[in-house]
Structure 1
Amino acid sequence: MKCRISQYFVVLAFLGLLTVAPVVSAHADDLEIFGGTSGGVEPNVLIIFDNSDSMADCVDGGQDGVANANCSISSESRIYKAKEVVKNIINTTDGVRFGLMIFNSNREGGYLVQPCGATKSDLVASVDGIDVEWGSPYIYTPLAETLAEAGLYFAGEQSWFNDGVTYTSPIQWSCQKNNIIIMTDGDPTDDLTHIGDRLYINNDTIGDNDGDSCDPNGCNADGTYSNSNLYDSDGSDYLDDVAYYLFHNDCNADYDDEQLIQTFPIGFAIDNQILADTATNGNYGGKYYTASNATALTSAFEDILTSVQSESDAIYASPVIPRNPENQAQSGNKVYMAFFKPQSDGRWLGNLKSYSLLDGELRDANNLRAVYPQDPSAIDYVVGREGYIKDTARSYWSSSVDGLDVAKGGAGVLLDNNNAREVYTFTYVDSTNYLVLNNPKTKLTDPLNDFRETTNPKITAALLDVADATERGEVLSNTLAGTTFEDENGTTQSWTMGDIIHSEPLVEAYKQNDNTYKNYIFVGANDGMLHVIDAADGQEKWAFIPPKQLPRLKLLLPENNPQKLHHYFVDGSPVIEELNNEKILIFGEGRGGERYYVLKVTDPLDPEWVYQIAEQMLELDAFGDVDFISGAAVLGQSWAKPQLKKIRDVDVDNNVHLYDVFLLAGGYDTRYENPTFSVPSPNNIAGRSIYTVNASSGLLVGPNINGGNWRDDSDQSVMNHSILEVTGFDTLGKGYMNRIYAGDLGGNLFATRYDDARDAWEELHLLDLPEDTITFTDSTNQSVSKNRGQKFMTKPDATLESGGECIYLGTGDRENLTDTDRVDAFYAVCNDWVKLKDIDGNDILDAQGDYTYTPVPISDLVDVTGNLVQDSADATEKATIDAALKNSSGWYLHMEHPGEKITSSAKVIDGKIFFTTFTPGFGTLNNNDPCVTSFDLGVSRLYAIDYRTGGAVMELDGTGGLSKDDRSTIIGTSVAYEPVLTTSGVKTTLFYGSGGKLLSLDVDLQTLVKRYFWRQLE
């Protein structure tokens, strides 16, 4: 590249490296993929019914109060009670495909009495026909053999214990849930057939799957092997191994998805370790049940069926790992995850949960592993569950296991039980434009800012934009009460906290008098509020409703949302900065609006209003001479995370000042969501601006670059599209920002720099992607021709190189995720800041008298999509591409999967670029396959590539060596969240994930962590 990329470099724009983190929407956006469900597919439930002779015994408290004795009164026997329970369960349960299996009378395994999906009448008749009598032939309890036989049934394989039988698998659909319930009253007996070394479902063996040194051939109490083992009556210790196999292996290769089988044991009048181990090894929650009577047995069946019938929680999370306040170079040991769960009425559930971090691994409140491991050799590894929170996990702040359930545990449950909340707004505004009135009282704790006070005279019907006092009361009570939902038992429950989607929780450390630190969490939610939560116990300390959201709260009422749309409110990410010994909180509304709000939170329990950033406030700068709105810079939705910077500026008397400012982008114009939208006139587009406001006052100061005041030689506007994100940094080490970069939604990359000699900001239209057609070979080796992607929607990252900077960012329409009509790409663009000269060598000045600089044409970027620099077997070809890279202005990498688009900002770490992408699925509504929907969740990927060449830098495909396939790895479904890097000083870990999944990757940092701490490298 022309900007020489040196061996050592500095990451300049890495904001948040350690501080991060059926659906109907009001607009097409990045939630559109969450509209589908595989609901309607009935689960298979095979009941293994213990018909051994001991089932003729009495249940506890039976005949003469004698337990475990053969009953002369049949109605008191275990078999009678169990049959009555199972028949009732079958008759009263709909939506389940029951099947029935019992033990063979020849002491060998079991046999299928009724297949899954049999009619209720046939099932009940078969249960009625199960008979148990003491005597010959004596029926034993070959539990492991029978469970292995059940696995063969689900796999559609030949029977091991029934001559001439080859099963037809009950599995109908790839997304179907498959389950086995073992109801037994005893230990395994006569369970000695050596099935452990026999080829099983996948032409492998069951083996000692759980690693307890007792393999399926049995073992003695001291761990030695023999046919005589630790169970009486020739029992065995391998039921749990069989359960492990079925739960951790694909049990039917005829379907695309992994077909795992859960095993749920019920000990009827017995409680033993082998059944408990079977549960641990055989189902997601490790659920094991014991029952001493018919009532308890019924409850056990009902709980299992509730579990297997429940749909996925559709949970999506954003992790936050705060810095260690005592060592900014290292991460803290806590992880906070924000959740949401879609609801059909449009008012979604949200929660915030806390976990700990130990050696790069997520732990729960019991210091147990909180997520399923990625390592297949781990004892608790489950195929297809890697990175998902365990059903057995208990997050901090939770009194009981909450697992993956959004509506259990966390701050959400605590908030729902909090009847003494402090909910503030700011009422010193007018009801027309919601601007602040003169001389307001700034304390949010002022009684007239109390949203909970129903008699507050300042919260009028007009302020809430409703007709009368009755509607006013409904809005107030509904906002505070939240919504309701049905839990897994069909019980209606209340829920207060709204969904948290784009707002990244902020964890702020407050130093106490004893030099310890107390953390508070700030996060926006789509219940209209910014929530402030005590990180120690999860209790909400206060919440704030921004003034502009007050008239929108009525949308939370069902009668005002007949289309059941999902609405956004406080959707932006909060930031806290130190300013003049005060803690200043600033946050945008994200999808919920176009404003930013600034509060003083020096005392976290006594917040104060400072100002808001609105179009009307930006009409004039601090000196009264900049007309922002007539300059065509109307604000769009406030997506950007504000950045506190210091700038150098000159006043009207030519006095030089250094100002603390917030660097902001113009925002998003929702009209871009329409795929056919074309810009009719630049003056109609919101968000065509980059600007800074005085952090203390909110008034414009410093660079104000917008579509009105940046003109080309033909006096045409240069900035014609919305700008969503911006980055700024200091390249000279002088303590103030002298570079700003931003991409827009029209394929443009803008660069500005501060010229100290002239005390002026200079502008460069660095890159202008052509609206052309690209022909290339995609991931399926097909030649495709599609339009070039134009939308830069993420924040650029940068490295400082000899002669200038290199900027890294990618295209991708996050608000139209299912689009496949464009080819998006990741770009590395190097800027030398070479002045344009005329033929006489004189500087060419623009219309404003400023220097002009050389832009980068697309032809000066090298196409590295084919990864020839690594994969080519031709030495000459490799040398050619290497030379081209050294002499170019950068490179680009086409996304090769159809519809693949970049969805996260790039993170440049020690010569490695990390970013995520999303590729839509191709499922269309198929009435013949309920697992396929028109809203496919798609595939997310993590990329790790070389910042110089776009080549692979980490072995990600599991085949050894570095090649094109190592540039990315599949994360999972849905949109991935921003990768998060943590370091303990010894180990550096990159956390990434999607769809409720949290994965990790060890990163070998060779340079940066030895020289800098991350906060310095923004």
Structure 2
Amino acid sequence: MLNKVTRSLLTVPGAAVLALLSAALPAVADDTEIYQAEYEGGSTGARPKVLIAFDDSGSMSTQVEQQRPAYDSSASYATSVSADRIYWSTDGSVPSANSSNWFSASQNRCASSYDDLDDNGRFTVERGRRWVDSTVQQGQCTRECPDGSFEYYGRCYEQTTISEPVEKLVYVGNDSNNRCGNDLTYVNPNGSDDACYEVVASSNPVSGWVYRQNSGRNGRCPRGTTYLQVDPPGRNNDYDACFELVTEPEFTTTTDWVDVGQPTQVCEDDTVVPGTWQSLSSNAHTPTHVECRDDVSNGITDNGSGQGAGYPQNNVASGNEYGPGVDDSVDWGNGAYTFFTSHYMNWYHDDSLVETKSRLEIAQEVITTIIDTNPGIDFGLLEFNYDSGGRIARRIIANMTETQRAELMNLVDMTDHAGSTPMCESMYEAYRYIAGLGVVYGNDAQSGSDSRGTYDVLPKDPLAESNGTYISPNTDCAYTYIILMTDGEPQRDTDANQRIKTLTGKDCQIYDSADSGGRTENCLPQLTEYMATTDLDNDDSNGDQYGITYTIGFATDQELLSDAAANGKGEYYTANNAQELTAAFQGAIVGILSRATTFTSPAVAVDTFTRTQSRDEVFYAMFKPDDTVDWIGNIKKLKLNADAVLVDAASNPALDPDTGVIKDTARTFWSAAADGTNVDQGGVGQLLAERDPGTRTIYSNTGNNGTFELFNTTNFDAAALGLTDDLFYNVLGASTQAAASRQINWARGYDAYDTDGDSNTSESRGWILGDILHSQPLVLNYGARGSFTTSAPDLRLLVGSNSGFVHLFGNDNGVEDWAFFPKELAGILPLRRRNALSNNHVYGMDLTPVAYTYDSNNDGTLDSGAGDKVWAYLGMRRGGRAYYALDLSNPDSPSFMWRIDNNSTGFGELGQTWSEPVVTIIPGYTDNNGVRKPVLVFGAGYDTNKDDSGVGTADSQGRGL
């Protein structure tokens, strides 16, 4: 069950000197909250439900040579892997003998897996995680001056206003031959009465001469003043000026900075960075714990030898990772894992083990093992009838007990191989069972036998129906899954066709069959499509109950099965032996566990459908919400074919016609394998994640007047940001230069904090591209530039992300050309890196870029060498109160043009830059040559006082154009 998270409100400090720090503070009440929810844990009553449609036709008696005997936990096998390990895979397949996907068996805390690993050597967990220990981060130290004072070059200064009496020349006595002793000043007024004076600054009344101004030509002075010739003590100090004789005291007021002492160093206590549960890693072989959500779902607190009982706890110090209650904040991810013991691996990779088995024996072994090793799934069984349709041999029982699971396995072992292959009719009966409709073929079992075996051994399950109507296994907002396994083409399988046509309103196709003539109409794909897209209980009040179909061709590869799975929103597998059949069933199970909608983490892939189209290319910006702040993003590319259909890299239709989202089976351009809507697969994001960070070109505006310099530990320093060293460290969440450099290297894409535990900090840290929440990619068409042509022009994608980086990607290969990180966003780096559990999202460059282009000769190619221009303008939305301008006339050599923010002259009321600028021309506004100059028009921004849901207040910013 998913609960909406309530946001807390945060007051953001506004001190200008802390601009870099406040840039890192999150905003409130934004639109990310709709993507965030909490997993409640515990059983929801909606475990995945799987109906296995079992083909027991006569062809299942076919013998298959070179098959491996059943796994025996007590047998000895040739050693191929080290003992005391648990290997794992994410697709259900058995890892290779040299796979690095393993962890020490002693670290396994998934109690749900213990019995099955001991007995069967394998177990599939619905979700799995490893514990990453907490760390101690050195406390940050700051230098603080007293209130009202500021630090300057290591001293504290306070601005003080001082009032002092004005100096006067006061008469002392007569001179001696125009000379005065005792440091007195000789004064000769214009005319006579020369004498000796002293300089006096007194707050009491005293008569004396006060300087007013320098004298004019020939000793002229303004009225009220007297010209004096003044000769202070010392040589060559005489001067002439205009003075006024004053008795009352006069004062002057001066304002100055006064040194009030050294700053005081204030250090925080060392901070414990909490430990977290993270996905399994091929580089982390000895994690402290490996856990599974199955234990939480089933209320199991046992954690094995050496660890006390309890449920996993998140964001706590090591030693507290288990507690008495379910912690809803644990992010269990969105994919299942299959565990394999070392002993099972030795069996699987022992090629000396061979024997001959029938297809039925192989299927029985595989299916019973699947049922036994997946206790988090409730299974049912449908068996083909001898001649017409199929019957429910065992209903799906919610929350199956071990006894019920064993009974189902015994039923599978009792099946025999005899009869035809009425797969479409059998699936029609499965549909009626799931939808809670009347029985059609369920009573058509036959008795008898032939040379191949006994007909319809298993009786129907009387508890699957009531008075001739099936009791639906559906629960609210949940799907039921069907795995159809068959070893041959359909035979005697046309009776349900007309019923399916009436149900779906669609025509059916001709497929290969085992009937005479070899080709027969079959409506199976139309039926599976209907089941996957129709609410099968016809009740809008309890969500959608769909039936999702997976198909397995055992020793057969059929277009019918492929179409049935594709239409049924599942997957199609083929298998020719026991190992491949196991992999096929396990692949289906992993797919089911990874998509079960009522019991998954809320961190699911979201396609924002910020679609950008250029020519026949269409680009999708994507992001993946999370309960933490470092969301990931991606851009994927599709194309429009001649029929205006969006297709993937294999020219197959890419969008699901019912949902409008990219199909899971689609392989988007730039991707090596099917990636679909998975944000963390394919696209420009995976190319960037797999790249050596040292080969990237990243700029920052750290040079003089913001000129671009490479973003590295040399250029990105305190001086470049206009800060003291200590404040610079503080901004980066560090307290030393080494710690600051580590943070910068993390931002560049290095695994600087060794999150995968392999002691290699020079490799990529994994996913680098941040969430692209509002910044729609801007396509820049440079035309036939360089080796590009008019028909295949040089297209670049410019986009901002909330990790603070602006990226330019090449359309031809999806590779990042360069990135730009504004130095003003330094404060968000430690927040994104720490990735704390929080409802307050961290923003960066979140506004869609706009561009001005100028083609000087109108040849359709933008060439900087010919005087052509490309200027890009970037805003921040919630990331800040600034706009940036970049010169991209040469896309391979960008340069910084300017930055304006609320501290720029005339922009004091600029709010958060939500307004997408418009580049236009104003009549009469030209350069010195009379050429019209482009201007940028944008709104004055958003005032965050509107974030509060209380009574509105007057805006102090954003009030203009």
Quickly name the TM-score band, shorter chain normalised.
Answer: 0.5 to 0.7
Q: CA contact under 8 A between 2:630 and 2:833: conserved in structure 1?
A: no
Question: What are the equivalent positions in structure 2 for 1:184-333 lying under 5 Å apart?
Answer: 184-192=486-494, 194-198=495-499, 205-206=502-503, 209=506, 211-213=508-510, 229-230=517-518, 237-256=522-541, 257-284=543-570, 287-311=571-595, 313-322=604-613, 332-333=615-616
Q: In 1, Cα distance between the equivalents of 2:68 and 2:583?
A: 23
Q: Which residue of the partner structure matches residue 529 of structure 1?
A: 805
- Note if 1:678 corresponds to 2:952: yes
Q: Which residue of the partner structure matches residue 687 of structure 1?
A: 958
User: Which residue type is aligned with residue 606 of structure 2?
Assistant: I
Q: CA contact under 8 A between 2:718 and 2:728: conserved in structure 1?
A: no
TM-score (norm 2): 0.55
Q: Which residue of the partner structure matches residue 472 of structure 2?
A: 169
Q: Which residue of the partner structure matches residue 335 of structure 1?
A: 618
Moved more, 338-347 or 493-502: 493-502
Q: In 2, Cα distance between the equivalents of 1:133 and 1:154?
A: 23
Corresponding residue pairs, total: 583
Q: Which residue of the partner structure matches residue 426 of structure 2?
A: 146
Q: CA contact under 8 A between 1:99 and 1:123: conserved in structure 2?
A: no
Q: Is the alpha carbon distance of 1:562 and 1:290 closer, same or farther for their aligned partners in structure 2, counting shifts above 3 Å?
A: closer
Q: In 2, Cα distance between the equivalents of 1:265 and 1:441?
A: 60
Q: CA contact under 8 A between 1:229 and 1:236: conserved in structure 2?
A: no
TM-score (norm 1): 0.53
Q: CA contact under 8 A between 2:627 and 2:839: conserved in structure 1?
A: yes
Q: CA contact under 8 A between 1:230 and 1:236: conserved in structure 2?
A: no
Match for 2:357 among 66, 73, 76? 76
| CA deviation after TM superposition for structure 1 residue 154, in Å | 0.4
- Note if 1:668 corresponds to 2:946: no
1:51-107 Cα shifts (integer Å, max 9, x gaps): 33433433342499xxxxxxxx99833333322322222232244222122123575
Runs (5+) with no aligned partner, structure 2 = 8-25, 70-353, 444-466, 598-603, 757-763, 855-866
Q: Which residue of the partner structure matches residue 30 of structure 2?
A: 29
| CA deviation after TM superposition for structure 1 residue 564, in Å | 6.0
Q: In 1, Cα distance between the equivalents of 2:890 and 2:415?
A: 76
| CA deviation after TM superposition for structure 1 residue 314, in Å | 3.5
Q: In 2, Cα distance between the equivalents of 1:675 and 1:665?
A: 23
Secondary structure of 1:129's aligned partner: helix
Q: In 2, Cα distance between the equivalents of 1:255 and 1:605?
A: 55
Q: Which residue of the partner structure matches residue 999 of structure 1?
A: none
Match for 1:601 among 888, 893, 912? 888
Q: In 2, Cα distance between the equivalents of 1:526 and 1:63?
A: 52
| CA deviation after TM superposition for structure 1 residue 526, in Å | 1.2
Q: Which residue of the partner structure matches residue 352 of structure 1?
A: 635
| CA deviation after TM superposition for structure 1 residue 596, in Å | 0.7
Q: CA contact under 8 A between 2:389 and 2:429: conserved in structure 1?
A: no
Q: In 1, Cα distance between the equivalents of 2:880 and 2:486?
A: 60
Q: CA contact under 8 A between 2:550 and 2:565: conserved in structure 1?
A: yes
| CA deviation after TM superposition for structure 1 residue 450, in Å | 4.0
Q: In 2, Cα distance between the equivalents of 1:336 and 1:96?
A: 38
Q: In 2, Cα distance between the equivalents of 1:643 and 1:302?
A: 54
Q: In 2, Cα distance between the equivalents of 1:189 and 1:424?
A: 66
| CA deviation after TM superposition for structure 1 residue 281, in Å | 3.0
Q: CA contact under 8 A between 1:90 and 1:120: conserved in structure 2?
A: no
| CA deviation after TM superposition for structure 1 residue 456, in Å | 11
Q: In 2, Cα distance between the equivalents of 1:463 and 1:422?
A: 23
Q: In 2, Cα distance between the equivalents of 1:110 and 1:401?
A: 36
Secondary structure of 1:573's aligned partner: coil
Q: Is the alpha carbon distance of 1:229 and 1:261 closer, same or farther for their aligned partners in structure 2, counting shifts above 3 Å?
A: farther
Q: In 2, Cα distance between the equivalents of 1:77 and 1:453?
A: 70
Q: In 2, Cα distance between the equivalents of 1:541 and 1:237?
A: 51
Q: In 1, Cα distance between the equivalents of 2:655 and 2:428?
A: 28
Q: Which residue of the partner structure matches residue 685 of structure 2?
A: 412
Q: CA contact under 8 A between 1:42 and 1:177: conserved in structure 2?
A: no
Secondary structure of 1:337's aligned partner: strand
Q: In 2, Cα distance between the equivalents of 1:207 and 1:659?
A: 62
Q: CA contact under 8 A between 1:177 and 1:261: conserved in structure 2?
A: yes
Q: Which residue of the partner structure matches residue 409 of structure 2?
A: 127
Match for 2:901 among 609, 614, 619? 614
Q: CA contact under 8 A between 1:648 and 1:656: conserved in structure 2?
A: no
Q: Is the alpha carbon distance of 1:292 and 1:397 closer, same or farther for their aligned partners in structure 2, counting shifts above 3 Å?
A: same
Q: Which residue of the partner structure matches residue 546 of structure 1?
A: 822
Secondary structure of 1:618's aligned partner: coil
- Note if 1:183 corresponds to 2:485: yes
- Note if 1:421 corresponds to 2:708: no
Q: In 2, Cα distance between the equivalents of 1:555 and 1:133?
A: 59
Q: In 1, Cα distance between the equivalents of 2:765 and 2:370?
A: 25
1:180-219 Cα shifts (integer Å, max 9, x gaps): 0012222233435x22234x6xxx72579464256xxxx9
User: Which residue type is aligned with residue 578 of structure 2?
Assistant: A
Q: Which residue of the partner structure matches residue 15 of structure 2?
A: none
1:762-801 Cα shifts (integer Å, max 9, x gaps): xxxxxxxxxxxxxxxxxxxxxxxxxxxxxxxxxxxxxxxx
Q: CA contact under 8 A between 1:197 and 1:207: conserved in structure 2?
A: no
| CA deviation after TM superposition for structure 1 residue 610, in Å | 1.4
Q: Is the alpha carbon distance of 1:589 and 1:53 closer, same or farther for their aligned partners in structure 2, counting shifts above 3 Å?
A: same
User: Which residue type is aligned with residue 404 of structure 1?
Assistant: T
Q: In 1, Cα distance between the equivalents of 2:32 and 2:712?
A: 33
Match for 2:53 among 41, 48, 69? 48
Q: Which residue of the partner structure matches residue 903 of structure 1?
A: none
| CA deviation after TM superposition for structure 1 residue 168, in Å | 0.8
Secondary structure of 2:904's aligned partner: helix
Q: Is the alpha carbon distance of 1:92 and 1:671 closer, same or farther for their aligned partners in structure 2, counting shifts above 3 Å?
A: farther
Q: Which residue of the partner structure matches residue 191 of structure 2?
A: none
Q: Which residue of the partner structure matches residue 667 of structure 2?
A: 394
- Note if 1:505 corresponds to 2:777: yes
Q: Which residue of the partner structure matches residue 520 of structure 1?
A: 796
| CA deviation after TM superposition for structure 1 residue 340, in Å | 0.5
Q: In 1, Cα distance between the equivalents of 2:66 and 2:432?
A: 38
1:119-138 Cα shifts (integer Å, max 9, x gaps): 34313322223356879xx4
Q: CA contact under 8 A between 1:393 and 1:403: conserved in structure 2?
A: yes
Q: Is the alpha carbon distance of 1:134 and 1:101 closer, same or farther for their aligned partners in structure 2, counting shifts above 3 Å?
A: closer
- Note if 1:575 corresponds to 2:850: yes
Q: Is the alpha carbon distance of 1:210 and 1:421 closer, same or farther for their aligned partners in structure 2, counting shifts above 3 Å?
A: farther
Q: CA contact under 8 A between 1:44 and 1:177: conserved in structure 2?
A: yes
Match for 1:479 among 747, 765, 769? 747
Q: In 2, Cα distance between the equivalents of 1:643 and 1:236?
A: 59
Q: Which residue of the partner structure matches residue 160 of structure 1?
A: 440
Give the number of the structure with larger relative contact order, counting CA–CA contacts within 8 Å between residues 6 or more apart. 2
| CA deviation after TM superposition for structure 1 residue 518, in Å | 0.8
Q: CA contact under 8 A between 2:607 and 2:661: conserved in structure 1?
A: no
User: Which residue type is aligned with residue 154 of structure 1?
Assistant: I
1:501-534 Cα shifts (integer Å, max 9, x gaps): 1112111111415763311111000111001101
User: Which residue type is aligned with residue 79 of structure 1?
Assistant: L
Moved more, 175-184 or 243-252: 243-252
Match for 1:111 among 378, 392, 406? 392
Q: Is the alpha carbon distance of 1:229 and 1:638 closer, same or farther for their aligned partners in structure 2, counting shifts above 3 Å?
A: same
User: Which residue type is aligned with residue 676 of structure 1?
Assistant: G
Q: In 2, Cα distance between the equivalents of 1:131 and 1:648?
A: 86
Q: In 1, Cα distance between the equivalents of 2:958 and 2:68?
A: 81
1:826-851 Cα shifts (integer Å, max 9, x gaps): xxxxxxxxxxxxxxxxxxxxxxxxxx
Question: What are the equivalent positions in structure 2 for 1:644-793 lying under 5 Å apart?
Answer: 644-647=919-922, 660-679=934-953, 682=955, 685-690=956-961
Runs (5+) with no aligned partner, structure 1 = 1-21, 65-72, 222-226, 324-331, 374-384, 429-438, 487-491, 620-627, 691-1018
